[in-house]
Amino acid sequence: MTSTENRPSNQMAGGGAPGASRQAFRKMLVTAQIALSLMLLIGAGLLIQTLERLQNQDLGFRVDHLIQGQLYLPPAQYPTKESILLSLAIS
Contact (CB, 8 A) for 84 and 78:
yes
Res. 2 pLDDT band, cuts 50 70 90: low
Instruction: Give the model's pLDDT for residue 11.
Output: 56
Res. 27 pLDDT band, cuts 50 70 90: very high
Q: Where are the beta strands (DSSP E) in 1-91?
A: none
Rounded to two decimals, the pTM is 0.47
